[in-house]
A and B are shown apart, each in its own frame.
Chain A
Amino acid sequence: MMSEGKGKIAIVGIGEVPTGIYPERSPWEILYEICTQAVQDSGLDKNDIEAVVTVAPQAQARLTAEISFGKIPEELGLKGCKDVCICNAGGASTSNCIRLAEQLITSGAARAVLIPHVTVHSCIPMDELINFFAQAGMDLQWEYPFGTTYNAIIGMLTRRYMHESGATPEDMASIVVSLRKWAALDPNSMFFNKKVPSVEEILSSPMVADPLHKRECNVLADGGAAMVVTSAELAPKVTQTPVYKLGEGAVFFTACPVLRENDMMTRGFRESAARALCEAGLKKEDIDIWNIYLAYPVGHPIMMESLGLCEPGRGCQAFMDGITWPGGKMPWSTIGDAVGRGHTGSGVSTATYVETARQLMGKAGERQVEGAKFVFQNTSGGSGMNNIATVWGKELI
């Protein structure tokens, strides 16, 4: 029996520009490029796009306003467009854009939906940028006055995880090694073809928020990605390689990290994944790629343990042993998460969906996981306020 959310929509086209630092490129130039690529990849005509649902670019109020008020379909001449909106849930935004597309499609309001994201951090004045990221996701009353930063919050989570699991600094650094190994093979990463740092090199980088080293933090970067979503019925008629959404599960934790109870995250990761897999009718053994997006290293072992893919407290071992690396038995975050990709605001989540589709379309080049049929993917917003788990497949089952 097919459950409610299963197999209603498919990604049929993707577009992306490499992540990097290019202040000379305007966001609109990037939007043109990724949207054109995605529509052309889908096999649809530009006028077949009936709605544009955009992932909100963070820290860019002017661009957000332009996109909110319909500039994308106008610029691109999407003559068939009936509706437009922007969606913001931080790093979880892309999941919500896809859900909105699903509603538009299943209700008959739109047959094909374009979901783009662009962020050009490098053209935002540095003080504004520091200010934005210092305050975003922080409570102005209960956190910010004490000097919280994203790095410091993650530093605290990392210390707690190390305390509970006995993980060593070497264990934590090995996660970065694994992520960067994927990034080195990814032409869309800012670390493409760059030497992968060793555990020793990571640990000898300066301490930013002890126990978090500089090379365990994210580099802010510019980038953009887009996808075209249609109904599952229409998808195989327009493309040879539709990528179906098979299941979903979501859980909300808290806005303030300090209020997150001890096992809230592990329980939430587990339950949302179980729901997504159950909806898809799959078991975790069926999953070929774990496309995990958590923006910093520490979430990865917690996720792996929560999903029951390793012994409790042993989440780092797979990263150390190469099981998660390219060619490993458990391909994990095949764009290298934000650490490997460069942090494009909420765009890492868009890029992760695009990668999920790319792998299932068989277009992932050197990173291609042979015979990949099913991909598990998650997104998470704010300072880790929630987790949205999804399962994708190259065929309806």
Chain B
Amino acid sequence: MKDQYIKPIPVAQPWTEAFWKSSKNHSLMIQKCGGCGSLIFYPRKRCPECWSSELGWQKSSGRGAVYTFSIVRDMVEPKFVSDLPYVLAMVELEESIRMMTRIVECDPELVQIGMEVEVVFDDITDRHALPLFRPADESLRITATDGDQTGKASEPALFMSPDDYQTILYETGGTNGAVCRITLNRPEKRNSINRRMAMELRDAFGRVREDRAIGIVVLAGAGGSFCSGGDLDVFPSLAEHQTSLNWLAHEGLDVQKAITDCEKVVIAKIDGYCLAGGLELALCCDLLYAKESARMGFTEINMGILPGWGGTARIVRSMPVFRAREIIYSGRKDYTARELFEMGLLSRVFKDEEFEDQFEKAVALLASKKPIALRMGKEIMAKSADGGSIDTALAVERNGIQWLTYAPDIQAMMDQFRKSVKS
């Protein structure tokens, strides 16, 4: 079950509730008139043919064919954006009923008018399931992981729990309950980012927002490297203009936003390689703690392109601009963390042998602060750094602090603080 379903839920009427109840039990029902025998879709209070109120139900075979469809690619409400592209379709059931639905588990480009389909149910909430359709022909079906490197987005996987993640680890409830650890976990590929990882990161950062107890997220890489950038296996698919644009605008921007909009303090734990797209991920974080020997840089220009996941935009906002330009233009991948710290980029670098200890100490210090104060601080500083007038920034600050002052249990904490100062 998804934590929070933000898309519209069917607004049922008393006489259609049986339909949705059956859907929840993964059974598709068609209303049938006891008066004239008509099959009715959608369910009514009276038969639209004979006006009889004696209405019952018949179980549908759940099989049918695509009458028409559209691959929706743009211009939808924000709540549907994460579904793009999706196949909206009218399906004609064997019982001659036509209904609006989506075609899932299929490459959108392979959907055709007349294609035979069968019903599947998407459990959107505890009480609702939407009847969707997938190809009847099993060879046309893809699971969420298939479309991975093809450049054709598959139906976004509906992660049931972090256990379903394949490319990242998601850990909470360790020795410090206020810390969540999200670890890029493709060590054989130096944690390079593929579509699946982008999708899972989005989901993970969305998930951690909802956990009130957590104040700090540590973003790290498994196997001794933070992240070496975009997976080169994705690149062939980017030859197509639109696919490439989507990789930047959908996967890319969504991941950046998932991190920057996550209301927790996100700490990048940088070791090994932190290159290209990996450095861009790091730049989305709030604090950058690095191992002295870590190798960092933007290598995109060596391929004749530039960073496209926010790298160019963020680095000039993160350090002195004359130094930032060198990093973008030189394409060097051998900047050490120490070097970049001295150039003004990182929060802190630790000696290799002390790295783990020092890093954990820094995390523990921040994790001892109130999550809502951290959250408010992140928001105020983000708004302030975004530009705008000083008066606006000061107003955001004042209001944030005023809000905090009256937040539950903060008064008690302030009392305690005052007492300890006096004594």
Contacts and interface: CB of A to CB of B under 8 A. Distances in A.
A396 interface: no
Given A142-B42, A209-B71, A147 B88 contact: yes
A249 to B, nearest CB: 24
B242 interface: yes
A130 interface: yes
**Chain A interface residue bracket vs B:** 35 or more
Interface string A246-289: 00000000001011000000000000000000000000000000
Which secondary structure dominates chain B's binding surface? mixed
Contacts of A144: 8
A134 B187 CA distance: 44
Nearest to A262: B67
B7 interface: yes
B187 to A, nearest CB: 37
Interface in A145-166: 145-149, 151-153, 155-160, 163
Interface in B27-79: 41-42, 67-78
A146 B98 CA distance: 14
B412 interface: no
Nearest to A154: B70
A45 B16 CA distance: 56
A207 B74 contact: yes
Interface string B118-156: 000000000000100000000000000000000000000
A107 interface: no
Interface string A119-153: 00000000100110010000111111111110111
| Residue from the set B67, B76, B78, B102 with the largest chain A CB neighbour count within 10 Å | B76
Contacts of B76: 134, 147, 149
A146 B101 contact: yes
Which secondary structure dominates chain A's binding surface? helix
Contacts of B99: 142, 258
A208 B242 CA distance: 12
Interface in B68-97: 68-78, 80, 83, 85-86, 88-90
B174 interface: no
Contact of A209 (B10, B16, B73, B242): B73
B10 A147 contact: no
Contacts of A35: none
B73 A156 contact: no
Nearest to B98: A258
A206 interface: yes
Interface stretch (A61-69, A210-218, A313-321, A366-374): A210-218
Contact of B88 (A127, A134, A148, A160): A148
Given A130-B77, A134-B77, A142 B10 contact: yes
Given A142-B42, A145-B7, A156 B71 contact: no
Contact of B113 (A151, A159, A208): A159
B42 A211 contact: no
B75 A151 contact: yes
Contact of A146 (B11, B88, B113): B88
A235 B354 CA distance: 95
B13 interface: yes
Given A134-B76, A149-B72, A141 B113 contact: no
Contact of B80 (A147, A153, A211, A217): A147
Contacts of B77: 130-131, 134, 149
Contact of B8 (A140, A149, A256): A140
19 contacts: A139-B42, A140-B8, A141-B13, A145-B130, A146-B100, A147-B7, A147-B72, A148-B88, A149-B75, A152-B88, A155-B72, A160-B67, A160-B68, A208-B75, A209-B71, A210-B70, A210-B72, A212-B70, A258-B90
Interface of A: 127, 130-131, 134, 139-149, 151-153, 155-160, 163, 206-212, 214, 217, 256, 258-259
Given A146-B102, A208-B75, A214-B74, 6 more contacts: A145-B10, A146-B100, A156-B90, A159-B70, A160-B68, A208-B72
Q: Which 4 A-B pairs have the closest CB atoms?
A: A155-B70, A210-B71, A160-B68, A140-B11
